[in-house]
Amino acid sequence: MYYKLFFPLIFASFLLYKQIPQQNNFVTADILNHIYIINGKNLIQYSDEGEIVYQYSSQLLGDITSMDASNPMKILLFYNNFNQVVFLSNKLVPLSSAIELDNMGFTSVSAVCSAARDGFWLFDSKQMQPVYISQNMDIVNKGTHINITDTSSSNIPLMMTEHESKLYICFPELGVWIFDQTGKLLDTIAIPNIQYCQLLSNKLIYLTHKKICMYDLKQKQTINMDIPADDCRYFVFLRQKAVLSNGKSLFFYKSDDHRY
């Protein structure tokens, strides 16, 4: 079975080569081509061939809300129900005790991600602003307060990630908000009805209305990706591979185009 992915100046065919039955509610990857899935309390690391490498679970902290593997040597886990952050090694072993955000004065955190300068970013949904916390647990920067009048789930970020000295926060109904390293708002991209998204290099890949689309942050243009996404809930794209999920199984694809 072949699906087509369209990237600027490059055309690639992707071959479905493995399907793994696996309940999941989050999929991501690191720069070493490891695939990570969250299933409730469980975090599982797969190789790019779909083999389980390491697993992690904490019975004390409940379900994992999200993770950030942008630094594969220091993987971040966020537990929203307990408002805590845990850092893991590349073998999914805790590097230290859990960080309790309540004790730092942040009681309404809806998203957390790693920072290139070590430490991490959090999104304070009470103040509606990003906050940078240093590796010494100091509050270094409190960013721009953003004006979102809707108090529903639309103001809970789908994704927050730092890339090339900028912080990107994606909201399901509002699109993407871009901040500098001090948390100052730089720009916004209006993309409504985003259901899931990933930032890959300078391209935002997102799911909307059963379609997977790609927005080029430099060219400021959107490209529809010709992938059947009727049952897709989560995905991750690597340089030569892709993993799609319907929440019940993982579908592994690899490029069949040597130019890719």
pTM for the full predicted model: 0.90
Residue 19 lies in a domain: yes
What pLDDT does 223 receive? Answer: 86
Mean pLDDT of 180-204: 92
Residue type, position 174, single letter: L
Residue type, position 186, single letter: L
pLDDT in tens, 93-141: 999 999 999 999 999 999 999 998 889 999 999 999 999 999 999 999 9
More confident of the two residues 112 and 1: 112
More confident of the two residues 144 and 13: 144
Dist CA 205 CA 239 (whole Å): 13
More confident of the two residues 14 and 56: 56
Domain range spanning residue 110? 2-200+224-255
Residue 13 has pLDDT above 90, yes or no: no
- Which CATH number characterizes residue 99's domain? 2.130.10.10
What pLDDT does 247 receive? Answer: 95
Residue 114 lies in a domain: yes
Residue 5 has pLDDT above 50, yes or no: no
Dist CA 33 CA 72 (whole Å): 10
Residue with tokens 């929440």: 247
More confident of the two residues 238 and 75: 75
Tally of domains within the chain? 1
Residue 215 lies in a domain: no
Residue 10 has pLDDT above 60, yes or no: no
pLDDT in tens, 50-99: 999 999 999 899 999 999 999 999 999 999 999 999 999 999 999 999 99
Residue 219 lies in a domain: no
Residue 159 lies in a domain: yes
Mean pLDDT for all residues in the chain:
89
Dist CA 150 CA 139 (whole Å): 27
**Long-range contacts: 157-161, Cβ < 8 Å, 24+?**
157/110, 157/111, 157/123, 158/194, 158/195, 158/196, 158/197, 159/111, 159/197, 159/198, 159/199, 160/111, 160/112, 160/113, 160/121, 160/123, 160/130, 161/68, 161/70, 161/113, 161/199
Contact at 8 Å (CB) between 224 and 207? no
Dist CA 13 CA 188 (whole Å): 32
The CA angle 160-120-77, to the nearest 5 degrees, is: 70
Mean pLDDT of 209-215: 89
Q: What is the dihedral of CA 24, 25, 31, 32, to 10 degrees?
A: -20
